Amino acid sequence: MDSLVGNSPWARDLRGSIERVADCRSNVLIIGPSGTGKELIAGAIHRQSRRANAPLVAIDCTSIPAGLFPSQLFGHVKGAFSGAECSTLGSFRAADGGTVFLDEIGELNLELQAQLLRVLQQRTVIPVGSHEGIAVDVRIIAATSRHLAEEVDAGRFRLDLYYRLNVVKLQAIPLCDRPE
């Protein structure tokens, strides 16, 4: 927990929440503006969990072009597309036994949300160019600076995915709103 400093009631509550959440198997949704330490919180949860000896794979959902998202997350087989000269695992298989951190999950379009939901429901990935599912054992920690409930109401975020991610919710607040 060395990366999370502070002794305010909020900081103490956050550390307590991380300790409680770390050992449960539930998905976690971290909400807060950019720059509030959502990735640090995700890392602290992973390091204190039973999955700490397995990888934590962080994915910035804003940096992956939509066309590359399935290959990046779920892998691909050799020859699946032009330039696929070898097979790749993808982030979910690379994190098997560990944690996948999906930063800025609210930025994904509805099609990509549907693909992600399928993986969360079935606990398998289908690499691009394959028809066979491969089982994965990962915990999902997602983060967003958006108000996902409002995004659901506006039709920009899937309600079923929101419920899958929002099992445990943690709030990250800006430094200017912290008393210390």
Per-domain residue ranges for the chain? 9-175
pTM of the prediction? 0.91
Question: Burial of 22 by CB count in 10 Å (0-12 exposed, 13-18 middle, 19+ buried)?
Answer: middle
pLDDT of 1: 44
SS3 percent helix, strand, coil of the chain, rounded to 5, is 35, 15, 45
Higher pLDDT, 97 or 173: 97
| pLDDT tens digits, 16-33 | 999 999 989 899 999 999
Angle between helices 38-48 and 9-22 (to 10 degrees): 40
Beta strands in 70-152, from DSSP E residues, in sequence order: 99-103, 124-125, 134-135, 139-144
What does pLDDT average to over the chain? 90
| pLDDT tens digits, 166-179 | 999 999 987 666 55
* CATH code linked to domain 9-175: 3.40.50.300
| pLDDT tens digits, 105-114 | 999 999 999 9
With a pLDDT cut of 70, the percent of the chain lying above it is 92
pLDDT of 152: 98
